[in-house]
A and B are shown apart, each in its own frame.
Chain A
Amino acid sequence: DQQVKQNSPSLSVQEGRISILNCDYTNSMFDYFLWYKKYPAEGPTFLISISSIKDKNEDGRFTVFLNKSAKHLSLHIVPSQPGDSAVYFCAASDVQGAQKLVFGQGTRLTINP
């Protein structure tokens, strides 16, 4: 039972354009959501998070949107840069920032020059 789903295994975007990565979840108890970025042969690195009391969080070129009624979140990267090419995982938990992060399968983002 996949509680966090990233339905797009891959995404290709032109440099300078907006990248939009999507994530859906099924567990209504989730109240904290995170995005991690992973390069090959490295561990995931934290990118941005959002609490369920908010619907948007922005950090530089990265913005995460949360739609609780739809159980959907998205990560926007604008403008996209070649260094953004990586696998992006969304994750969720039911206690803020705590244990047992539940991860999606990941989306491989490729930024084309």
Chain B
Amino acid sequence: EVQLVESGGGLVKPGGSLRLSCAASGFTFRTFTMNWVRQAPGKGLEWVSTISSDSSWINYADSVKGRFTISRDNAKNSLHLQMNSLRVEDTAVYYCARVFPMLRWDPTLTVASDYWGQGTLVTVSS
């Protein structure tokens, strides 16, 4: 059974840092592209970042570029999101998600995520 479990969320002051992790199991993690997607309280979904299976392709939303860093450890089946210079508007539930299998690499196909974790809440407040 595919499982994604996020951790690392919490309360942090504006300007602070937080590192989210996502533990993957039940599938061959090293062969899948992964996403981080967030959802502010009462709001819709917002894509945050994507990393390819071998970390050779990384993409960020403009809203987090230069502040967030996505990474993965295929040996440990884990995905990470280092968040620096946090702002109040970064407050959200952060989900890690597996990208739907692709027959060939195509970044436009990274939109589809077939498995999601339960999410971890990040609250940025003074």
Say whether A associates with B: no
